[in-house]
Structure formats: C-alpha cells, structure tokens
Amino acid sequence: MGEEFYSIIKLVSGEEVFSLVSVDENDGDPLLILQNPIIMKLIHHRSGMHIKIKPWMDLTEDDFFIIRSDKIITMTESNDHRLIEIYNNYIEESEEEDMEFRNPNELNTKPSSKMGYVASVEKARKELENIFNKEIQENQSPE
C-alpha cells in the first residue's frame, strides 16, 4: 500500500469527495482506499462563504472504502491546510459523537415521569375513554 495523502476526487457519478487516500497497486489495477470520505459543498451567503460538510455515505459506520480507478474521472492531491483542518476537525467531532451515542448507560435508561412517561398504555386508554364518554353525555343532555 502506498503513502497516504489528502485528495479531492471527482467520480464518474458526479460526486466530489475529499478524503485521506492511499493507493494499492493490485496487479496493475490500482485501487484507491478512502479513509472517512466526505462531501464538501460551498454555500454562498450574504454573510460570506460557508462550507457544508456531510459524510459521503450516510448509512454506514465504515471508515474505509475501496474504489476502482475506472470510477474516477480525476483526482488531485490537496495541500490546502484549511481544507485539511476542516476535514480533520469534522472527523474528530464525528468520532466524539459516536462515542457519546454508544454510552451504554444512556441506552439502558428507563422512562420516568420527568421524561414524560406518566402511565401505562392500558391506564391511558381507560382515562381517554372516560373523557370521551363524558363528552358524549354532556353533548347529549338537553340544555
């Protein structure tokens, strides 16, 4: 496997991906190994330019992806320190969020009245039926 470098890659799908990349020469058919690829989009706003960042693949927890060279239109090594810093900060924040989410104490929390859990389904159903029946009786009584 080759040396790692930051790269902007234009895929045949039209996507532009920013990633830490290494190249694996696989029997003369190079494979790109992307580590935590992201999509950066420039947004122009009257307050200035902003960069929107999102993971390349939303529904996976994998960090590494392999792409064949025939799926790439072009790629360029990026030495832009601002982009690299944005990328690294995003990856660090994502990892911290994953660690917080995977906290086993949070996953085993039981509902309480402070969280809005105030009755069983059966008890709530009976109370709602009583309210409904009371409303019907009030509307049917002559005034």
pTM: 0.63
Pick the CATH number of 5-107 from 1.10.260.40, 2.40.50.140, 2.30.30.100, 3.40.50.720: 2.30.30.100
Give residue-wise pLDDT tens across range 66-78: 999 899 999 999 9
What whole-number distance in Å separates Cα of residue 109 and Cα of residue 106? 5
- Let me know: does 33 contact 65? Beta carbons within 8 Å: yes
Give residue-wise pLDDT tens across range 29-78: 889 999 999 999 889 988 888 888 999 998 888 999 999 989 999 999 99
In Å, what is the CA distance from 75 to each residue of 7, 65, 125, 134? 7, 16, 61, 71
Least confident of 39-48, 106-115, 119-128: 106-115
In Å, what is the CA distance from 29 to each residue of 15, 87, 141? 22, 28, 85
pLDDT, the chain, mean: 84
- Asked if residue 16 has pLDDT above 90, the reply is yes
